[in-house]
Chains A and B, each alone.
Chain A
Amino acid sequence: MHQPVSYFSINNKMKYIVLFFTLSICACNNTLKKDHKHEYLRHVGDIPFDNTLDDPAFRPCNEESARVHHNFNNPDLYEGEKPAMIKPLMQLEFAKIEGESGYITIRFMVNCEGKTGRYRVEQLDFEYKDKKFNEKIIDSLLSKTKSLDKWIPAKSEDFVYDYYKYLTFKIIDNQIKDILP
């Protein structure tokens, strides 16, 4: 006769073995996740589609070969060059707020038709550490940047590329002092 105790004992052992392997796999996954902290995109600065942020109507033409603005002979890539690009931005007026200073960078993609999308905003202080500016200035800068509509598609050797572009606003006391780069 089988001893029920020993039967249960074997079953329990199996449970522990299964539990041990499950925990081991979890531990491995956690290690992988930690290592994946440094997992890179195709290229530093790429902006993958995020359905919580991005308009699906904006479509890159050939995302896998997207470049950066400085890869082209005409790096402003805007009709009327930088003065035309920054004019509507410099006209924005904000109330002076002492100490509201640092950098706001808006990164985005321009596709082969000159249309834009995938906007991302970074906010830093002058030590390049995270900072939170007031929503009004962020919303205004983002909305005005999105309204720029004279982007020039980037051509090189008969191929028209999607490209990444960014604008950095140097802000002192909630006033735009500079638009870079």
Chain B
Amino acid sequence: MISRKLLIVAISFICTNYGPPNCNLYKADARCYKACNEAEMAITFAQGSRKSQEHFDKSIQSCPSFDYSHYEKAVPYAKRGLMKEWKVMIDEAVRLDPKEHLGTRGWYHFFFMHNYEAAIKDIEKLDSLIDYNIGFTGDADYHLNIMKALCWKGLGKTEKAITIIHEQMAKKDHDIGLFDYLHLGVLYLEMGNYENALEILDKQIEINNLSEIYFYKALCYKQLNIKDEYKSNLEKALKLYKRGSKMSNPYRELVDEIYLSEIENEITIANK
């Protein structure tokens, strides 16, 4: 259990501190070596700041095929809702190195824009290009196949989403992501398969004890007409929410994330 958490933290650290490649690899090509050094300089400044962007420009100017700088220069645009600019830059990064950047582009389509079709297309394209594990989203929250399942959920294909998650979880090299069981449990809840949903939601507790688990368990018990469990799970959800033990992401909403007003409204209904 501890080692799994450490692994997730390690992956998260690597992915959120995505630095340029080892510049020594470019020493044979003076222009690209300079581009790599400029990129290293760019990330010493705040992401999206004038100086950072200018260093990325110098990097690209020096070696237009240095894909890392196209990718990194694009990121602050996406984080601020400027997707037209992001798309032009990330497309160039993908053109230069599709294996490296398709996964990230797909993740951004999914996370920032709920552009599920575009996200699925990128993940499937990546899968077709490589014969190794396609890996995680940049924040390490999801394996890209789990993210793909959430895209199908967004398109209303609940059964397909469940199938993809089961297929991914069955793989020997799958490391359970931060919210895998929660999403699977909620999918079963949406399908009306409450017993299965409860069993799977309980597995999420071992990963992280989130308010959302008890909120969705409460909804299952509500449907099963087990009033005591319905109410007690809502109380647990409320308690954890107030303690801050809930899904959260600074760049905003996660799939199946819940809010205080939703728990309180449900408690009002339960007490009627």
Q: Are A42 and B83 in contact (CB under 8 A)?
A: no
CA distance in complex: A44, B83 (Å): 12
CA distance in complex: A68, B78 (Å): 12
B57 contacts A by Cβ under 8 Å? yes
Take A70-B252, A130-B84, A164-B80 as given contacts and tell me if A42 and B261 are in contact as well, using a CB distance cutoff of 8 Å.
no
Q: Are A82 and B259 in contact (CB under 8 A)?
A: yes
- Distance from B37 Cβ to chain A, minimum over Cβ atoms (Å): 20
Q: Interface residues of B toward A: which range?
A: 20 to 34
Binds B, one of A26-34, A121-129, A134-142, A143-151: A121-129
Binds A, one of B10-18, B63-71, B111-119: B111-119
Q: Are A122 and B81 in contact (CB under 8 A)?
A: yes
- Distance from B75 Cβ to chain A, minimum over Cβ atoms (Å): 9
CA distance in complex: A178, B252 (Å): 13
**CB-contacts of A138-181 with B (<8 A):** 164, 166, 168, 170, 177-178, 180-181
CA distance in complex: A180, B248 (Å): 14
Chain A interface main SS type: mixed
Take A44-B53, A83-B259, A126-B118 as given contacts and tell me if A180 and B112 are in contact as well, using a CB distance cutoff of 8 Å.
yes
Q: What per-residue 1/0 map shows which CB atoms of B70-110 lie under 8 Å from chain A?
A: 00000011011111101100000000000000000000000
CA distance in complex: A105, B83 (Å): 9
CA distance in complex: A83, B50 (Å): 35
CA distance in complex: A68, B47 (Å): 12
**CB-CB < 8 A to B260: which residues of A?**
81
The 8 Å CB contact of B81, one of A38, A84, A166, A178, is A166
A36 contacts B by Cβ under 8 Å? no
The 8 Å CB contact of B253, one of A45, A82, A130, is A82
Q: What per-residue 1/0 map shows which CB atoms of A68-82 lie under 8 Å from chain B?
A: 111110011000111
A2 contacts B by Cβ under 8 Å? no
**CB-CB < 8 A to A166: which residues of B?**
80-81
Q: Are B57 and A38 in contact (CB under 8 A)?
A: yes
CA distance in complex: A126, B109 (Å): 10
Q: What per-residue 1/0 map shows which CB atoms of A21-59 lie under 8 Å from chain B?
A: 000000000000000001011111100000000000000
**Quick one: closest A residue to B76, CB to CB?**
A44
Q: Chain B interface (Cβ within 8 Å of chain A)?
A: 46, 48-50, 53-54, 57, 76-77, 79-84, 86-87, 111-115, 117-118, 248-253, 259-262
Q: Chain A interface (Cβ within 8 Å of chain B)?
A: 38, 40-45, 68-72, 75-76, 80-84, 103, 105, 107, 122, 124, 126-130, 164, 166, 168, 170, 177-178, 180-181
